[in-house]
Amino acid sequence: MENEGAPQAQVVAALARPRSIALLAALLAGNVALAIGPWFVRVADTGPVAAGFWRLFLALPFLVLLARASGQRLTGIPVKTLALVALGAVTFALDLASWHIGIGMTRLGNATLFGNAGSIVLLFWGFIIARTLPGRLEWLAIIFALTGAAILMGRSLEISDETLIGDLFSVAAGLLYAVYLLTLQGARGAFGSWSLLVWVSLFGAPVLLVIALLLGEPVWPQAWGPVVGLFVLSQLVGQGLMVFALRYFPPLVVGLALLTQPAVASLYGWLAFGEVLSGLDIVGMVLVGAALAVSRAKA
């Protein structure tokens, strides 16, 4: 592989910068906040898709304030660009719907790990676009991803058919998230990060509401704590810290930080819901996690 020492050099350079400890703490805190989101989905008295609606809807006014405070424009966007964002937002809404359903059916560690599988999909897509074969490290990531996923899904099937279906919903969410990112690649230049999140939420929230109603889910919460916690931690704190910290770190560091999410989810899945991981489960998670880290490093 060409210049294999470059990622390590990037890591050292990133961590040697001033304020590096605070920035790294922000990156890790953002991942931890995102990892806690599934817990709120589990305990919400709405349906899982309805919880996704509230996540986007309640965050909207705060996202608008953040966009304005950052000097990012919310109007004057070309119609074609907005149409592309609307398409991406629908994909994101389907991603959230699929992932939230999966959260309720499988172990939290599995759901979180597979829900982040979009990075691996983007790695594969890059090879298709470039019409090149993967290098040695990428082939290793592919083997790790497939082996780890097979182990985790096999273990889920041993528990019940429902947990395997939950894994598949979470994998579908990871695929949809990759499509969402690819769809919005061309639109990112016309928006700032916060402005883009505003429009994605505007277009995505109604889609989630319609899906929740079609599924017959309870939409209006009797207890607001879980849905408020979901939008605060996932959409504001988690997304906010990630948007802030991502520009300061190379993809390898981001990929490694991403691995805190399934670790945190597995920990509170065990503490709060009694979800026990076997040694084989941990091996599967490590394999998929290694593939995720490599895929981010090659971003």
Buried b (16+ CB within 10 A) or exposed e, 14-36: beeeeeeeebbebbbbbbbbbbb
- Who wins on pLDDT, 201 or 19? 201
Average pLDDT, the chain: 85
Residues 6 or more apart whose CB falls under 8 angstroms from that of 49 comprise 96, 97, 100, 101, 208, 211, 212, 215, 217
CB atoms within 10 A of CB 214: 9
Q: What is the largest CA-CA distance in the chain?
A: 57
Nearest to 113, CA basis, from 271, 265, 295, 294: 265
Minimum mean pLDDT among 25-39, 81-95, 138-152, 213-227: which range? 138-152
- Mean pLDDT score, 2-20: 53
- Non-local CB neighbours of 10 within 8 Å, separated by 6+ positions: 250, 252, 253
H or E stretch including 121?
helix 118-130
Q: Is-contact 296 251, C-beta < 8 A?
A: yes
How confident is the model over 126-137, as a mean pLDDT?
Answer: 73
Over residues 154-159, the mean pLDDT reads 88
d(CA 72, CA 82): 15
Quote the percentage of the chain above a pLDDT of 70.
90
Helix axes 20-43, 48-69, angle to 10 degrees: 150
Per the model's pLDDT, the better-predicted residue between 7 and 75 turns out to be 75
- Token pair, residue 45, equals 């008295």
Sequence-distant (≥ 6) Cβ neighbours of residue 113 within 8 angstroms? 152, 170, 261, 262, 285, 288, 289, 292
Q: Examine the pLDDT at 11 and tell me if it is beyond 60.
A: no
Q: What 8-state DSSP symbol labels residue 290?
A: H
128 pLDDT more than 80 = no
**239: closest CA among 113, 63, 4?**
63
